[in-house]
Amino acid sequence: MIDLNELGQPVGPLVPGWAPRFAPTPKVVTGRWCRLEPLDSERHAANLFAANQRDGNAGMWTYMAYGPFPDLETYSAWIDSVAGRPDPLFFAIVPRGGRAAGVAALQRVDRQMGCVEVGHLAFSPELQGTTAATEAIALLASMVFDELGYRRFEWKCDALNAPSRRAARRFGFVYEGTFRQAVVVKGRNRDTAWFSITDGEWPQVREAYERWLAPENFAPDGSQLVSLSSLTCAER
């Protein structure tokens, strides 16, 4: 919907009652398949480092601004350097009944505009492609929209990172465009692809998450009966 002002010029619709939102805070968030915990080196570093070591060619770090880490001491020092910050706000992802296997963060928090980005996604091979990985994103999105009332949830990645682009779409984020020559990462140019979910889209995306994560969506062998992409991308 586009309104016209008194001069007959098109303007965006009013946002009734809008006020700055609270910032996300560090806390434990528990789902059916995983748990999010504020990242802490003493609690998580050893398990995360061990899980990351299963990535034999260190491909999970190619598009990250840091990593791979040569040893546990170096990785622990990195966690110490980022843990406890309000922005980025880091979480360890702990699959049900298992050990910490991935990291995610809420960053670039804009309380005035109601916008926040999910980033620093470092999913070890133990986490990649699992229900816990999907639920981790769902829990963060629910925090952003349902708990904090933000208007926009962003996903950005290197435009050459095809797996991240596919994941963004699978998780219900809509591609918005590419910022050319956005940053320099590890001495190389990075064009950044932008994706988002808005608060108006969130109810549909949330329903897709809930349907996909429901136990009845999985066969006895653990295989999915309905894909998440078929639910999040059907009408978008």
Taking 80 as the threshold, does the pLDDT of residue 2 lie above it?
no
Write out pLDDT tens, residues 110-165.
999 999 999 999 999 999 999 999 999 999 999 999 999 999 999 999 999 999 99
47 CB-contact burial (10 Å; exposed 0-12 / middle 13-18 / buried 19+): middle
Taking 90 as the threshold, does the pLDDT of residue 9 lie above it?
no
Query: Between 72-82 and 41-52, two packed helices, what is the crossing angle to 10 degrees?
Result: 130
Write out pLDDT tens, residues 91-120.
999 999 999 999 999 999 999 999 999 999
Q: What is the pLDDT of residue 1?
A: 58
Domains recognised in the chain with CATH numbers: 24-232 (3.40.630.30)
Q: What is the pLDDT of residue 12?
A: 86
Taking 60 as the threshold, does the pLDDT of residue 195 lie above it?
yes
